[in-house]
Amino acid sequence: MSGSIVVVGIGPGDLAYLTPAARQAIESADVIFGYKTYLRLIDELAPDIPRQGSGMRQEVDRVNQVVDQARTGLRVALISSGDAGVYGMAGLVYEVLRERGDDDIEVEVIPGVSALNAAAALLGAPLMTDFAAISLSDQLVPRDEILRRVDLAAQADFILCLYNPKGKKRVEPFELACQILARHRSPDTPVGLVRAAYRDKQEVEIITLAELPDAEVNMVTIVIAGNSQTSVYNGKMVTPRGYAHKYELK
């Protein structure tokens, strides 16, 4: 008898940004799995349902435990912060199921407000035209490939959302990415930094590309680097959609 797995994007953290569908999936689970820090964000939800927290870099173990539980017939909720489908846990669930040959376990992914949406809302309106999301973590993707993407994205004038920009010991990809951006964009290009969006320690800052290499940036900062059209208005980062070329705005 096979159970099911629901991979739940809980949004940035504050329950005001958790969708009713995500809440319902959590509350109707038999057991809840997740990274400890994220489980803490949903502490007050469904207190009677057993939960299994695990640490960072234990994703593969965690997903195998989730599959083990689902195999016994349980409905298992696996928590992802932001959107489960953007650098989240959804993919690993499918990868592990394929590897184990567990084709009959049903999987559902509940989308959430991803970190890039949350960061953009707090910064103003930086993502009004084409953008790219790149993770600078070279833990799972070769560094050269990451930097090649930064370079092509900069050439394409994409607004850039950088995930996991810098680790305690991993600073070089960030430094190199800053250098690449500096070759393609003006030093006064606005860059937004958002940490802990919609959580207690939220910090939102708008700096320039010239200031980026020395900015305080860590694993959980989302960096949004503007494109050639982005500017700052009234403390907000705004990329025009292009209406002004076509219409009288007032």
Binding positions for a second copy, 53-72, rule CB under 8 A: 59-60, 64
Report if residue 1 touches a second copy, rule: CB under 8 A.
no
Burial of residue 177 (CB within 10 Å: 0-12, 13-18, 19+) is: buried
Q: Which is nearer to a second copy, 205 or 210 (CB)?
A: 205
Per CB under 8 A, the list member of 139, 168, 183, 200 interacting with a second copy is 139
Position 164 contacts a second copy (CB under 8 A) = no
- Binding a second copy (rule: CB under 8 A), the pick from 31, 74, 77, 97 is 97
Task: Find out whether 195 and 201 touch, Cβ atoms under 8 Å.
Answer: yes
CB of residue 171 vs a second copy: minimum separation in angstroms?
20
- Number of neighbouring beta carbons within 10 Å of residue 201: 7
Where does this chain touch a second copy (CB under 8 A) — which range of 35-43, 89-97, 170-178, 204-212? 89-97
DSSP symbols for 91-139? HHHHHHHHHHT-TTSEEEEE----HHHHHHHHHEETTSS-EEEEE---S
Tokens read off for 8? 């739940």
Q: Which residue type sits at 50? A: P
Candidates 53, 85, 167, 213: give the one binding a second copy (CB under 8 A): 85
Please give the Cα distance from 89 to 100 (Å, whole number): 17
Residue 67 CB contacts under 8 Å (≥ 6 apart), including other chains = 5, 93, 96, 97, 100, 102, 105
Q: Rounded to an integer, what distance in angstroms lies between the CA atom of residue 98 and that of residue 31?
A: 22
Applying CB under 8 A, what is the total number of residues that bind a second copy?
86
Q: Please pick, from the candidates 158, 191, 223, 225, the single residue that binds a second copy as defined by CB under 8 A.
A: 158
Among 37, 50, 55, 156, binds a second copy (CB under 8 A): 156
- Of 36, 98, 203, 216, the one binding a second copy (CB under 8 A) is 98
Per CB under 8 A, the segment of 33-41, 45-53, 135-143, 165-173 that binds a second copy is 135-143
